[in-house]
Structure formats: structure tokens, C-alpha cells
Amino acid sequence: MPVYNAPTKDMQFVLHEVLNVSGSDIPGYSELEPDFTGAVLEEAGKVATNVLHPLNTIGDTEGCRLENGVVYTPTGFKDAFGQMKEGGWTGLDMPEEFGGQNMPYVIGSAVAEMFSASNQAFTMYQGLTHGAASAILAHGTQEQKETYLPNMVSCDWTGTMNLTEPHCGTDLGLMRTKAEPQADGSYKISGQKIFISAGEHDMADNIIHLVLAKIVGGPEGIKGVSLFIVPKFMVNEDGSLGERNGVSVGNIEEKMGIHGNSTCVMNYDEATGYLLGEEHKGMRAMFTMMNEARMGVAMQGLSQADAAYQNAVEYAKDRLQGRDVTGAKNPDGPADPLIVHPDIRRSLMDQKSFTEGARAFVLWGATMIDKAHRSGDDDADGLISLLTPVLKGFLTDEGYDMTVKAQQVYGGHGYIEEWGMSQYTRDARIAMIYEGANGVQALDLVGRKLAQDGGKHVMAFFEMVKNFCKENAGQNEAYDTAFIEPLKAASKDLQAAAMYFMQSGTKNPNHALAGSNDFMHMFGHVCLGLMWAQMAKASYAALEAGTSDTEFYETKITTGQFYMARRLPATSLHLTRIQSGADTVMGLDAASF
């Protein structure tokens, strides 16, 4: 069975030595002293390793089953869900007035990484509920908040998001689910949604579906889409549960991974729904949920990569194959462990430098979300809006690649099910697809986010990197050579790509869109390069201050050097591809394929 160790030490390093959270003026951050965050992370780590991780393989092998309209989750899930609720893990960053603990989002993110790494399928039930609750919090009336939030924050009721229909995935303007206004102000919702995660299951008393539908007689296309709250059981005025609403599960999907999460076909048959937010502004309201969900999915890329990596390291140290070409490292044994071989090292360093860089990127992104929400900082809001597709697209593409690399370390043993490595690749794969497939994330980045507010946010990003380089250069030659110079070069590539889009995109938009995937990836690399430059800076500072834990900080610096030398230069290839434009990409007629 695979192992999982909670990376609390690394999280503490990022939170306190890199991001200096307790020194920040974001409301609520002064309480985030190292002892406090350490205690929360340690406890969360125990839940992840002792409760959720042992159920990961069970969830994968058993999956969910549908019987007479009821979806049964795998053995142990219901009990574990109860433990999550009792432990107060469901509403960490939710407001106290609805039963939450009002902690900053950054703490919720760190905890969520461990839960997702130990059991992604299980954690999705809670994650979707959190997203639905956030949408009600942001767009609901006071009455809606009071009716639904306390039970959703506690996860006595769970939540879902319903966008996808059989003929309509990315292009939501094609949606057919309709909403007919009723005299009492409610709506009758009719239509079919597919692929609905946690659409039906046996772990909650009620399920609150957030459903996109078109109000009859409203505008055509995406402008006619509104968002509705559709409870599985109607909620009486006194808060008790009433009759069953007209929503039912039609089927559950057989799928490649996340078997422990029920992916449902949901049928709405004149189900009673209540408008959430304004008429025809459903996408705006749903985006609250989707942006949060995209951060959560970015986290899944990181979490599956880390869990897989941890196992690959164990295996590489244990499995004896071949000899070190520079001299035997295990002369008394029949062979040396895999970890002596440079190609295995390369793979492990790819994985290690990705997961640690990605962790810093996600936690830094979470501080931007806190800054936007808790301090009302519009610049932080603009920056995280720009970077959300980068976080989602880059971290899940790369995260999946890393699970494949981890699997590869096992050779054939990674491919058979016995060692549990294929589950990481199978589970990680979906993160590249849902919450907007990664091609669409790249489109969003290049087609919308780059030019948002006159390009102000991307300029702010470049300025941030430039200032970091300026402020930190010239103090330590080794640091300048290994970190500052590569970061400057990569950022220059990114700027050149943005400039190319500006110049060529107006002539032919295909030039920009043909390079969108490359741009998203080069942006991701620059972000991780910046994170590594910050982590290395903190590590040099700790070493200079005479830390006793030299191994931790030296390891950080070496890992960062690897990223800057071996991964970050990918920006140059991405730029070359981008600057070749759309001509070779679009050169063939569709009939020639």
C-alpha cells in the first residue's frame, strides 16, 4: 500500500519564512503564529494520514454503486465523513456566524492539500460543498444564507455544481435546462445535467444543488443563463426537511479514476428552484464557485504529484537494480538502489522541485485571495484573477506528468495495480479536464485575462518580478547566478511572448490562440521560478543566521538550483513555438486530417 507523509514542515517553511504570514496586515493573519499554524497542520496531517489515506485504495477498488436511486459510497467513507465533521474540518475558513472558524483561506488551502493528497475522491465531497456555500455566501439573500449555510458549513448537507449537459460542456450558451417562473417567486427547473460530482450519495441528510438554467423567455445564449438553488429535500420554514424535490440521479459514470467520488447524471423534473443572485447573471454567480473550485483543482495537481513522489522516493531507495557507474554504493548487496542512477535522480528532482515550487505558488495565491477578500485589495484581486488559469492549467498538466514520472520509477511495478501507483495517474488525470479543460484555461488567460483592465494586472506581475530581482541582486554571487539571472531571462521570454500576442493577435487572433497553451506553461514556469527564488532567499537567510537545520535549507537551495537550471529554461522553447505563430498549426484543411 502506498505511503503518505503530511508535508507540514515544508508548509511551515513557506508560510512563515517565505510568506511571513503572521507579519502581514491582512485581517486575521496576525493570529497565524508558527505555533498556531503548526498545531492546525499537525492535526490535519494526522487526519490525512490516519483517516483518509487508508481509504484511498478502498475507494479506488470499490467505487460507488447506485441501487434504487441511492448512491452508496465506498466502505468507510461515511464514517470518515462523520469524523471530518466532528473534528470541525469542514468550515475552517467559513464565517463564524454560520458555524465556521473564520480562519484565513491560506490555512484552509494548506489543510486541503493534505486531505486531497491522501484521498482526492473523498475530499471532493467536502470541496464542492465549500464552493457551493461560498457562492451562496457571496450572492444569496440573508434568508438563503440562514437557510442553507449552517448545514453546509458543517457538511450535514453537501453541495454540488451543475453546469454540464450532454451537448454542452465548455460552451455553456448551448444550455437547454430551463427555469419556469412560478407565482410564489420560485422556479420549476427541468432538464438533464451530466458528470455531476457528488450529485447523489449516502453521506449527507440533504444535497443542495446549484444549477445553471435558462429562464423561459430570457435572452438567448450565455446571457440568458441564471443560477438556482435546488435542494434534494425541500427545507421547511423551521429548518426541518420536507418532501423530496423533483431531482433524481439517473446513472453514475464508470470512469478512469476518482472512483470513490460519485459522478452522476442528474434529472431535474419540474424541481423547485430558487434564484441565486440576479436573473440572467448566473455565470457571474457561478464564477464565485468556479474560481474557488479552480484553485482547489490546481491543488489536486500538486497533491497527487506529491503523494506519488513520496512513494517513488521510497521505491527508488529500496529497489536494487544495476550499479552506480561511478562506483558501487551497496557493495555488499547484489546491486545498488535505483536512486544512484542519474536518470532516476533527474525524474525525482523534476518531481521534488515541482511539488515544492507548486506548494509555494498555491499558498502564495491563497494569500492573494485573502488580501482581495479580507483587505478589499483590488490589485490582489486582479492578480489572482490573472493567475487562476495558470494555477489550474499549469499545476494540473504538470502534476499529472509528475505522477507519470513517479509511476515510471517503479518500472512495470508502477503499471500493475499492486503498488497503487496507477491510482495517482488515474486520479490526477481528471484535474486537467474538469473546471474548464486546460485548453480553455489557456484560452481564458490569453484571450481574456491578459488584456483585462487594459493589461494592468499582467504589467503588475512583470513589475513584481522585476522589483524582486532588483531588490535581491548583488548581495550573494551564487544566488544571483543560480536564481536572479535565470528568473530575469525567463520573465523576459514571457514578456516577449505577451508582446508577440499584442502585435500579431490583432492581425489574426489565431496567432495568439495557437500559442495559448505554451504561454500558460511559460507563465507557470516563471511563477515557480519566482517561488524558488524566494525560497532560496529565505534559505540563505536561515543559513546565514546560523540555523541548526542546515540540511533542510541546503536541500532547498539545491532543489531550487535544479529548477532554475533544468526546468525554467523551458520558457525559451515555449517562446520559439509561440513566435512561429498559427501558420503551421492551422496549415492543413480539416479534410486533410
Ligand X SMILES: Cc1cc2nc3c(=O)[nH]c(=O)nc-3n(C[C@H](O)[C@H](O)[C@H](O)COP(=O)(O)OP(=O)(O)OC[C@H]3O[C@@H](n4cnc5c(N)ncnc54)[C@H](O)[C@@H]3O)c2cc1C
Which residues form the interface with ligand X (CB under 6 A)? 161-164, 169-170, 195-197, 255, 263, 430, 433-434, 436-437, 439-440, 443
**Residue 186: how many CB atoms within 10 A of its CB?**
17
Q: How far apart are CA 375 and CA 378, in angstroms?
A: 9
Q: How far apart are CA 584 and CA 462, in angstroms?
A: 30
Q: Which residue's CB is nearer to ligand X, number 225 or number 482?
A: 225
Q: Which residue's CB is nearer to ligand X, number 41 or number 265?
A: 265
Shortest distance (Å) from residue 193 CB to ligand X: 6
Tell me, yes or no, if 96 is annotated catalytic: no
**Residue 567: how many CB atoms within 10 A of its CB?**
21
Q: Which residues contact 72 (CB under 8 A, 6 or more apart)?
A: 64, 65, 66, 201, 202
Q: Which residues contact 159 (CB under 8 A, 6 or more apart)?
A: 128, 129, 130, 131, 132, 133, 152, 198, 207, 208, 209, 210
The candidate with the shortest Cα–Cα distance to 163, out of 284, 283, 296, 272, is 283
Q: Which residue has the cell 490589485?
A: 379
The candidate with the shortest Cα–Cα distance to 435, out of 241, 286, 297, 320, is 297
What is the residue type of 469?
Answer: C
Of the residues 97, 435, 471, 554, which is catalytic?
A: 435
Output DSSP code: residue 50.
I
**Helix runs in 211-341, H state only:** 282-318
Q: Which residues contact 411 (CB under 8 A, 6 or more apart)?
A: none
Report the 3 state secondary structure along 313-380: HHHHHHCECCCCCCCCCCCCCCCCEHHHCHHHHHHHHHHHHHHHHHHHHHHHHHHHHHHHHHCCCHHH
Residue 448 exposure: Cα atoms within 13 Å on the Cβ side = 12
Q: Which residues contact 434 (CB under 8 A, 6 or more apart)?
A: 195, 197, 297
Q: Which residue's CB is nearer to ligand X, number 388 or number 472?
A: 388
Q: What residues does 540 pair with on adjacent strands?
A: none
Contact 370, 92 (CB under 8 A): no
Q: Which residues contact 238 (CB under 8 A, 6 or more apart)?
A: none
Q: Which residues are catalytic?
A: 435
